[in-house]
Amino acid sequence: MSKELTETQTKILDFLIEQIKGRGFPPTLAEIAAHFGYKNRATVQQHLAAIEKKGYIRKNPKLSRGIELTLEDKFFVPRPVLGEVAAGNPLTIYPDAIDTIELPTIARMPKDSFLLRVKGDSLKDAYIFSGDIVIVNPNLEPRNGQIVVAILDDAAVVKRFYKKKSKIELISENPEYEPIVIDKNYPSFKIVGIVVGVYRTMEASPFVPLRRRGKV
């Protein structure tokens, strides 16, 4: 029986699943080390050994990519995508699910959270790209600098949130887009949730050099 993983082990397993499902083969030790910013492969080997001991993977030491998922049928569950959210100009939101995705079971889904698909490139400098799935938590109060999903006149956008005195600014992470300024005269404005996670498949991703992934 599998045992609970630590936070670091969960992130490494999530990366393994993403790579194996997206590229069709597992990453090397060097690629894992580069992705998480480890200076040597010994640290990676220690984490993989712990993950293997807990029953989630099987390693073949004779192969450079010798990592196999052992509980593959339990790693993914279908979850509904409730609509598209604009990383750019606002998009109309949908009342029903527009799609389902196979989301890893280890992906943390806070209570009442929901999934939206990003459309547009206004958050590209935050490494959120068109086609990505964002996990949105509706139970949090927004703080300056957080990425939020907001409704503007019955359309949805995803932007960074900043409150300045009596105004709110929704900022893009792309210099081609101007800030959206919300004041008391702006009708039908509402924050519907905070982005707490991003999920993507490798097929949908633009090329990004392997690096340590920052927090959203």
214 touches 173 (CB < 8 A): no
Q: How far apart are CA 201 and CA 104, in angstroms?
A: 11
What's the pLDDT score for residue 48? 93
Question: CATH 1.10.10.10 residue ranges in the chain?
Answer: 7-73
Q: Is the pLDDT confidence value at 33 over 90?
A: yes
Please write the tens of the pLDDT for every residue from 57-111: 888 877 778 888 886 555 555 667 766 777 655 555 555 555 666 666 555 677 7
What's the pLDDT score for residue 38? 92
Banded model confidence at residue 207, pLDDT cuts 50, 70, 90: very low
Task: Please give the structure tokens belonging to residue 165.
Answer: 């005195």
Residues forming the active site: 122, 159
Greater confidence (206 vs 106) lies with: 106
What's the pLDDT score for residue 215? 36
Find the length of the chain.
216
DSSP string, 29-92: HHHHHHHHT-SSHHHHHHHHHHHHHTTSEEE-TTSTT-EEESSGGGTEEEEEEEEEEESSS-EE
Q: How far apart are CA 204 and CA 120, in angstroms?
A: 13
Question: CATH 2.10.109.10 residue ranges in the chain?
Answer: 76-204
Please write the tens of the pLDDT for every residue from 44-53: 999 999 999 9
pTM exceeding 0.75? no
Q: How far apart are CA 123 and CA 158, in angstroms?
A: 8
Please write the tens of the pLDDT for every residue from 105-131: 555 677 788 888 888 899 999 988 888
Task: Please give the structure tokens belonging to residue 166.
Answer: 């009596």
Q: Indicate the CATH number for domain 76-204.
A: 2.10.109.10
Q: Indicate the CATH number for domain 7-73.
A: 1.10.10.10
Please write the tens of the pLDDT for every residue from 157-198: 899 999 988 899 999 999 999 998 888 777 678 888 999 888
- The CA-atom distances, in angstroms, between 96 and each of 67, 81, 201 are 39, 9, 23
Q: Is the pLDDT confidence value at 17 over 70?
A: yes
What's the pLDDT score for residue 206? 46
Greater confidence (34 vs 79) lies with: 34
What's the pLDDT score for residue 64? 74
